[in-house]
Every structure is written in structure tokens, then in C-alpha cells.
């Protein structure tokens, strides 16, 4: 309990700060990008540590791809500075930057073979690299992505997953400071995507290259990243490790976007250090951790993850009486949608119980739910 309270304390948050991070491999400093009246990216401050796997996560149109393209050099920031390896590259074109990108569409050159595609970046280097050296590197990277026998194949002879690996190989063969990945797995089917996720992660650890991934898939971001930068409407909402974002979201938006959660609107009636009392629409007051310094009297909401809610078929003093609306059996656990007369719908995820008591609950039955205050978090409505 004390441990949880500690991590939740307002001061204890890791700063997703603008301050220059010593040794950062890349940095966006006060970067904005507007197209006419539309601001795609606003006051973006982010430092990327060497060797980390960072994801930009957000719904489409939140500016995550624009941020990535500014790192690559395809877009020039309207304001602010882009630094790579401590050097200001804001004025440099894409071909002058030591970064490489894996495109969503792969953008493989259709008139070149797999080997020629991969060698393309190496062949542009001036002074010229010796041909033997290039061939060597191409062969090695082909082995890394397990396409050793495909060097002389044409691009259109490759499957989607193979093309994806060629695109990866074409980028990593140049040993870039930063590897930028623009929704690289979006075009693959679910099974292949899972495999490629594992491959990506292995590759990143093996090579030690810094990866920056753009995705709208929270599951992908959670499973791959060391850090996730959650974005909304061109702004950074929160930066943190997957666990931080899941357990300590700073706003309703993050709690909603990273994982699923139940939200109950209410008003803060007391604040005591890291915890607060909030009065909800059922007239009762609930104790919960404060995600941020929210003053008394402010409207806010309580977030409780479905897996933190306990459900029972017997009444107890603390529990809320609910009616079962729907249940979905998912093997090791069951998802319930229940309805409280005042609080509305509540999603509950119940693990399989050995006594099987909940299994008899049917739609329309009455049950009781409750959660521990440690599992509830008061968030700003945003």
C-alpha cells in the first residue's frame, strides 16, 4: 500500500520534460508544425535516449506521423529545433540525416532486386564504399532478417511479410542513429503481425539501434516499447513506460487510450496528500489515489480498470448492487457488462473461479461489485 502511494505521489512522477537529456540520440525542442491554419504538432518537447524503443501512440490525425517525418527530414518544423546526436538538423534535408525509415507501404523500389534495394543506401555514400564491403553487409543483413536466399528476387515475388523484412533490412543495413518506423505492421494480418512484433523486438535488442515507432495500436505500443509517448491533437499528453501509463495515467484520455477502464464522474470533496475523496452520482463518497494535484471542489472522474473490480453473488456492506447486462466467456476469464442504477454501465473482468459460483449468473441477475481504493485513481477530465 505504501509502495503504491509512493509511486502515485504527485512529486514522484518521472518528468517527461523538455530539459536536454544528456546523451540523447535525438531531441525535438519546442517543435511545432502547422499547415495553414491547422496545427499538426504543437510545442513538442521530447528527448530520445540511445538504444531505446520509443513509440508515438495516438489516434489517427494526432500528429504522430508528422512528428516522425520531422525527425526523418521530410517535413521542416514551423518552429523549434530538431537535434540528432546533439547537432541541430532542422535545416538538413532527409538525405543529409543519419536516420532511416521503414515506410507503412514499405516503398520498396519495384525496378530493383531485393539485394539492390538493400544496397541502395550504402551505394549513395560518398566517398564510395568498396563493392565487396557493400555485398558483405547486404549478405549479413539478409541473414539477420532470415532472407539469405532471396537476394536476387524481384520485389513483387515476395509476400507481404517478406517485403516487410526487406524494408527493415534496407533501413538497418545503414546502421542509422535512429530507425523510424511508420506503422510498419499495419498492412500485415494479425498472426504475421504478432510474429513481426517479436522479430522487431529481438532485432532492436540485437542491434542496439534506437527505434522510434508510430502506431495507433495500443497493444503493439505496450508490448514493444520501452517508453510510449501518448499524443492527442498534436500535443504530448504523457510519456512513460508502458507500466506507468497503464497504472499511473495522468488523465482520463491516457487511461482510456491505454487499456480499458471504467470512468465515474464526480466532484472532489477532500484532498489528503496523495489521496482524495470524491463524491459520485450515487451520493456516496469514494477514496482513491490522486493522479495529479486536483483542488477540492473540482469535477473529476474515478478510473477503475475492469480487472480490479471484484464481483460477487452475495451482498456485502461496501459493494454496489448491479444487474448483469451481458457476459462474454473468454476462457481464462469472463467479461461482464453490469449496470448500476446511478453509476451506469460498469465493465468487469472476472478471472475463472474454481468454485464456479459466478458461472450461474445470467443476464438480468443481481450481483454485487466493489473495488479497493488502492485500485481507483482520480483523474482530470480532459
Partner 1 sequence: MRIYAVCVYVFLYTPIAIIALFSFSAGRSASQLEGLSVQWYGRALNNPFVMDALGNSLFVAFVSATLASVLGTLAAVGLQGIRGPARALFDALIYIAVMIPGIVIGIATLIALVTVFGVVNPWLEAFWPGSAPAPTLRMGMGSLIAAHTMFTLALVIIIVRARLAGLEGALTEASADLYATPLGTFRQITLPLIAPAILAGFLLSFTFSFDDFIIAFFVAGSETTLPIYIFSSIRRGITPEVNAIGTMVMGASLIMLVVAQLILRRGQKR
DSSP state of 142: H
Is residue 93 a contact residue for partner 1 (CB under 8 A)? Answer: yes
Least distance in Å: CB of 287 to partner 1? 53
Residue whose CB is less far from partner 1, 41 or 178: 178
Neighbours of 340 (CB within 10 A): 17
Shortest gap between Cβ of 180 and partner 1 (angstroms)?
8
CB atoms near residue 323 (< 10 Å): 13
The burial of 112, by beta-carbon neighbours within 10 Å (0-12 exposed, 13-18 middle, 19 or more buried), is given as middle
The residue to which cell 531485393 is assigned: 114
Nearest to 5 by CA among 273, 252, 245: 273
With CB under 8 A as the contact rule, the residue among 11, 15, 95, 362 that binds partner 1 is: 95
Contact 15, 45 (CB under 8 A): no
Residue 110 is a binding residue for partner 1 (CB under 8 A) = yes
Residue 120 interacting with partner 1 (CB under 8 A): yes
CA 40 to chain centre: 19
* Beta strands 178-182; 210-215: pairing state: parallel
Is 101 an interacting residue with respect to partner 1 (CB under 8 A)? yes
- Backbone φ and ψ for 178, nearest 5 degrees, come out as -135, 135
Q: Is 269 an interacting residue with respect to partner 1 (CB under 8 A)?
A: no
Report the residue from 152, 156, 316, 360 that binds partner 1 according to the rule CB under 8 A. Answer: 156
By CB under 8 A, tell whether 103 contacts partner 1.
Answer: yes
9 close to 58: Cβ distance less than 8 angstroms: no
- Among 73, 77, 274, 306, the residue binding partner 1 under the rule CB under 8 A is 73
Residue at grid coordinates 493522479: 291
Q: Choose the binding region for partner 1 from 17-25, 105-113, 259-267, 326-334 (rule: CB under 8 A).
A: 105-113
Q: Among 38, 86, 87, 124, which residue interacts with partner 1 (rule: CB under 8 A)?
A: 124
Site stretch for partner 1 (CB under 8 A), options 66-74, 83-91, 129-137, 328-336? 66-74
* Closest separation in Å from C-beta 266 to partner 1: 48
Q: Does 109 bind partner 1 (CB under 8 A)?
A: yes
Total residues contacting partner 1 by CB under 8 A comes to 26
Task: Report the C-alpha gap between 47 and 167 in whole angstroms.
Answer: 26
Q: Write each residue from 171 to 200 as x if it is in contact with partner 1 (CB under 8 A), else as -, in one continuous string.
A: x--x--------------------------
Sign of CA dihedral 296, 301, 305, 309: positive
| Among positions 26, 48, 54, 72, the unique one binding partner 1 when judged by CB under 8 A | 72
**Smallest separation (angstroms) from partner 1 to the CB of 313:** 57
Cβ neighbourhood burial of 77 (10 Å; 0-12, 13-18, 19+): buried
Interface positions with partner 1 (CB under 8 A): 72-74, 93-96, 99-101, 103-105, 107-111, 120-121, 124-125, 156, 170-171, 174
Amino acid at each position: 500500500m505504501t509502495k503504491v502511494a509512493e509511486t502515485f505521489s504527485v512529486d514522484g512522477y518521472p518528468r517527461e520534460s523538455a530539459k536536454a537529456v544528456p546523451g540523447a540520440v535525438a531531441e525535438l525542442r519546442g517543435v511545432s508544425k502547422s499547415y495553414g491554419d491547422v496545427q499538426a504538432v504543437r510545442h513538442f518537447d521530447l528527448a530520445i535516449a540511445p538504444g531505446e524503443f520509443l513509440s508515438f501512440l495516438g489516434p489517427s490525425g494526432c500528429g504522430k506521423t508528422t512528428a516522425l517525418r520531422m525527425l526523418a527530414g521530410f517535413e521542416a518544423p514551423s518552429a523549434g529545433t530538431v537535434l540528432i546526436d546533439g547537432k541541430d538538423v532542422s535545416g538538413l534535408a532527409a538525405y543529409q540525416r543519419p536516420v532511416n525509415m521503414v515506410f507503412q507501404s514499405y516503398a520498396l523500389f519495384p525496378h530493383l532486386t531485393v539485394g539492390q534495394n538493400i544496397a541502395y543506401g550504402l551505394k549513395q555514400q560518398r566517398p564510395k564504399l568498396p563493392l565487396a564491403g557493400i555485398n558483405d553487409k547486404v549478405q549479413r543483413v539478409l541473414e539477420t532478417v532470415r532472407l539469405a536466399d532471396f537476394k536476387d528476387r524481384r520485389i513483387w515475388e515476395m509476400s507481404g511479410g517478406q517485403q516487410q523484412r526487406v524494408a527493415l533490412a534496407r533501413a538497418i543495413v545503414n546502421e542509422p542513429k535512429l530507425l523510424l518506423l511508420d506503422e510498419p505492421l499495419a498492412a500485415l494480418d494479425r498472426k504475421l503481425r504478432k510474429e513481426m512484433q517479436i522479430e522487431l523486438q529481438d532485432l532492436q535488442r540485437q542491434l542496439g539501434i534506437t527505434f522510434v515507432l508510430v502506431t495507433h495500436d495500443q497493444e503493439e505500443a505496450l508490448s514493444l516499447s520501452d517508453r510510449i509517448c501518448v499524443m492527442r491533437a498534436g500535443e504530448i499528453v504523457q510519456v512513460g513506460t508502458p507500466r506507468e501509463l497503464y497504472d499511473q495515467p495522468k488523465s482520463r484520455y491516457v487511461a482510456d487510450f491505454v487499456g480499458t477502464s471504467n470512468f465515474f464522474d464526480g466532484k472532489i470533496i477532500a484532498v489528503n496528500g496523495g489521496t482524495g475523496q470524491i463524491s459520485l452520482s450515487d451520493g456516496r463518497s469514494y477514496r482513491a489515489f490522486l493522479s495529479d494535484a486536483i483542488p477540492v471542489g473540482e469535477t473529476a472522474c474515478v478510473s477503475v480498470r475492469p480487472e480490479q473490480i471484484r464481483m460477487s453473488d452475495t451482498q456485502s456492506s461496501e459493494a454496489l448492487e448491479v444487474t448483469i447486462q451481458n457476459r462474454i466467456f473468454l476462457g481464462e476469464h469472463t467479461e461482464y457488462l453490469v449496470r448500476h442504477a446511478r453509476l451506469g454501465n460498469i465493465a468487469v473482468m472476472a478471472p475463472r473461479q474454481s468454485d464456479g459460483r459466478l458461472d450461474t449468473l445470467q443476464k438480468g441477475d443481481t450481483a454485487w461489485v466493489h473495488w479497493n481504493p488502492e485500485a481507483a485513481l482520480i483523474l482530470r477530465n480532459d
